[in-house]
Structure 1
Amino acid sequence: MSNKLRLGVLGGGGDSLIGVLHRVASAMFDQYQIVGGVFNPDFEQNKGFAEEIGLPTNRIYSDFDTMVAEELKLPEEERMQVVSILTPNFLHFPMAKKLIESGFNVICEKPMTTTYEEAKVLEASLEKSGTVFALTHTYTGYPMVRQMREMIKEGVLGKIHKVDAQYYQGWINPIIHDEESRKSTWRLDPEKAGISCCVGDIGVHAFNLIEFTTGLEVDTILADFNYLYSDNKMDIDASVLVRMSENVKGIVRSSQVATGEENNISLAIYGDKAGLKWEQENPNYLYVLTDDKPLQVLKPGHAYNSDLSLDGTKLPPGHPEGIFDSMGNIYKGVAKAIRGLEYNSGEFPTMRDGVRGMSFIEKTVESNANGNVWVKIEG
């Protein structure tokens, strides 16, 4: 029998971008084998999709509860070891909770839950189970983001005093300006997406990148949202001031109505010795800025990079790697954890990141609703 980890998948069927991303990532390092799941709520479409991607249909289930029940009947050496949750936001919590309590390891799309309280419940369940949980803040998998983290840890920047994270998209522009379209999109429906659209979907990525790279935690925030229309209940643009300590401050900027923008993520961290800048649309370049030397550009795959960066680099220098590779690095780290192997804490985001992220999302909503006031992050 194959020694690959047996992977189940929930959601991600049809033409889902996130489904393709996870399937490719799971195959990248030959650590996983997809054995079944529930790709689509319609059973016939579910089976049809499984056949389309070459999976046998004997472990393609009609619904989530049936999958868990049937998998638990199998001998431990045959049942799914880890399950990826790629469904709409409102299903993340109930699925992850049941999987954890049933002894499965979990890889979950973000946001982890729809409320901070759910996140705390999930955290308590994980502590009891002792299983592995990973949250796919995908951009932490990029080699040069990991290099950024390690350089900051080594003190290259000195004392940090300024952080600036941006995530700009324009995809919702054609939807938000049409009354019927904005009422029928699940990401603008609080019942399915949670209390936030823009911050919950992309702003939380920028927030996570700040904490991932600096090793510091955001303490208080002040948020200003834009909804554009009075009948729209969800934020589609947000500017969030952040304070990490008395002397470390910055901003998280996110927008889904930044006309013409595709996936413009940028991160800049400044200290008293140097600064570091990275952009997701040009992910192979990490810029090092100082006052007394020319601009320095670091690239992946070279021996001058950290072990964590090099572990996430598959190709020789000069061969571009991208979003699939970044997600693949997260899956690789999770495989190490499940197998009980030694791994770097930066190899995949954890439950802790999910709890922090949900607190950030809720507190931005609270800050904006109360007149753009400073509020403290919990968790």
Structure 2
Amino acid sequence: MSRAYPTPDIDQPTPLLGGLTPREFMRDYWQKKPLLIRQAIPGFQPSVTIRDVQTLARREEVESRLITHGDKGWSLKHGPFRGFPPASQPKWTLLVQGVDLHDDESAALLRQFRFISDARLDDLMVSIATDGGGVGPHVDSYDVFLLQGLGRRRWRTSNQADRALVPDLPLKILADFQPDADDILEPGDMLYLPPHVCHDGVAVGNGCMTLSIGFRVPSQATLARGLLESAADQLSAQHLGDPGLYGHPCLPGPDLSALYTDADIPATRQPAALPDQLVQATLDTLQRVRLDQAVAARFLGQWLTSLPDNALFDPADVSVSLAAAVPETGHLTLDRCTRLMYSGAQLFINGEVAEQACEPALAALADQRSLPAAELQGLAPTTLALLDEWLQEGWVHWTDD
């Protein structure tokens, strides 16, 4: 069960951001320019070891990559792995995605960055490397915080416009990298990089571990496609008689069950040509689809809370029934894998739309990821019954004080 972190005070200076407040960081640096932070977490020690990372990379459901750079050039292999190069061999790197799904303290570390919306926060990737190990100079399309966990890593960055790549490589490596900043990070140091900043990280010595806090960056095409697919799914459900799927339980959607007709269409000498009438009818149908804020929120809520395949829950023996009686003491805490978000009255958990409207206590649970027993007193029986279902699924856990 993951340790809960309070929502960061956006107006409080923090070592995590080099003495800046989260408000100042978002205003001056986020998606604008890099920031090197010495001792962002003083005395930091990662909760996972190099052996732990290697163990994760052996698992089928965990995404991992092994990158080597030797006399024969660059090599990229995808896990799961049965073994790894010896620690004495230089210039190899192992990267493991989603470590926060498997380790409570890693999940807690990731959530120190919740001054940025959960809609953007993605996962914690851990890389381990021997001397000279890295993935080559490259550019990413997403924001990332690079926290040094063990050993040392040299980071060189550049704002160069030339993004040409070396051809015929398994990795996207810049052909002409011209760094304008060069820094070595020690454990506890952190580097923030906005999208499209060219960078190259190389291990200095063996036993190097870097933790990458990454962020989602959906393309406009992804958002548009998902929105239209969500609207189509809701319309299909409406046609099957479910009145509560069109953004609001009480709002009916348009009836699009009528079949296309083309009475009086003339005979054609061009049977392979698409009929203009059918094209126009298709456009007219789209005009009847209501794409509003509720539909968009429903799509985003389900999509952004959907879990990767390697998010596994381990329900404990539940010793409490909140619907029967809320204990006087204790805490309800979200599992480290659980994703809970809301928009207005809509509530989303782990890719599902909750039947229960989002009342203040459920919004507080989503924001704080933990609620004391006192804040559960007086909740509606339907809400407590829903929380009991989540307890049975292992999506939330109850701990006694």
Range of TM-score over shorter length: under 0.3
Larger Rg: 2
Using the size of structure 2 for normalisation, the TM-score is 0.22
Say which structure, 1 or 2, has more relative contact order (CA 8 Å, 6+ apart): 1
Using the size of structure 1 for normalisation, the TM-score is 0.23
